[in-house]
Structure 1
């Protein structure tokens, strides 16, 4: 028994010496060291928490950074899952969907995606204050999980990947600009048809 405990302790010391961390402990290390952050709801709690977590993870968050995380839209929906006795509502499910974009230089879109988090809370018609608190806590948990999931998504991105996405976006923008210019030139060179002259009666 003592040997097994010593072995477990030894492994724990060895892993911590290697820099190993359990999920949910410490800060999330990101390869991206600079990021611009904005949101449609500029003063919302999600973007505020996101900024705090990014900065605590060693990311310099400032306007004009090479890449921008834009929290485009945050939508919440709520539905009843089950009813308690006497027609009182039993369980609610709250769902929040967060749409986001990662923009590169020239505000060109590099990628767009969304995150979805659901939580269930109990609504007790005989305890409205407690039920309101449960709903508030569920929404706080959702926001915290959205930020954690966003950090995991960002953790998977490397500067090399972002550079490749930027090159693709630049090439696409250049091709679209060239196609537009060619269309305008062709339109300008097309002779205008003169109006028909009707014979006088």
Structure 2
């Protein structure tokens, strides 16, 4: 419980210091002014909150934007962190990860990364409802932390950087296509062996 409270206090201080507010009017500056946002879980809370943060801070979010932010994978893992004297779980550790990609023209992958958050919450054997509420509150705080991490990463990205990554990705894709075509032509140019004719035994 102490660890979780310290984490929450530290996160709150960080959010306040950088001016970020998930549902407020924090002043977060993005060099990217247009972005498509999608997720494997298209109706999840995370992708909705990310869209809201971007739009609140001046980013136009729409399908067909020059670059796409894709929340490709979101996972949660829970394990027992400590036990009571009667071998019951006293505290749980929660770990959440969020993988994301930025794709450009022709759906080419420009960059990808993985964000992580960790927290703890206490388990009270005499208060099951309270345990569920505590777990849900912890999850919300961790989602907020992951989105904060994502916002900080996106703030560091400029259109010029993505343009350069797009050129690199296109050059790589073209080189791979040329290599495949050269291999295909080489294969086609090789003489094909005729089927082996087995001798027919005399009657």
Do these two structures clear the TM 0.5 threshold for a shared fold by scoring above it? yes
RMSD of Structure 2 on Structure 1 (CA): 1.2
Matched, 1:24 2:19: yes
User: Displacement of 1:108 after TM fit?
Assistant: 0.1
Which residue number corresponds to residue 140 of structure 2?
140
Deviations 1:106-147 (A, max 9, x none): 100001110000111111111111111000000000111111
1:99 aligns with 2:99: yes
Counterpart in the other structure of 2:195: 195
Structure 2 counterpart of 1:64: 64
Corresponding residue for residue 14 of structure 1 = none
Alignment TM-score, normalising by the size of structure 2: 0.86
Indicate the SS of the match to 1:126. coil
For residues 1-201 of structure 1, what are the structure 2 equivalents within 5 Å? 22-25=17-20, 26-201=26-201
**In structure 1, C-alpha distance between the alignment counterparts of 2:155 and 2:123, rounded to whole Å:** 37
> Is 1:88–1:124's contact at 8 Å kept on the other side of the alignment?
no
Q: Give the drift of 1:24.
A: 3.5
Q: Normalization by structure 1: what TM-score?
A: 0.87
Q: CA deviation at 1:102?
A: 0.6
The residue aligned with 2:13 is none
Q: CA deviation at 1:27?
A: 2.5
Number of residue-to-residue matches in the alignment: 181
Deviation at 1:22, TM superposition (A): 3.4
Q: 1:70 to 1:90 in 2, by over 3 A?
A: same
Structure 1 stretches of 4+ with a deviation exceeding 4 A read: none
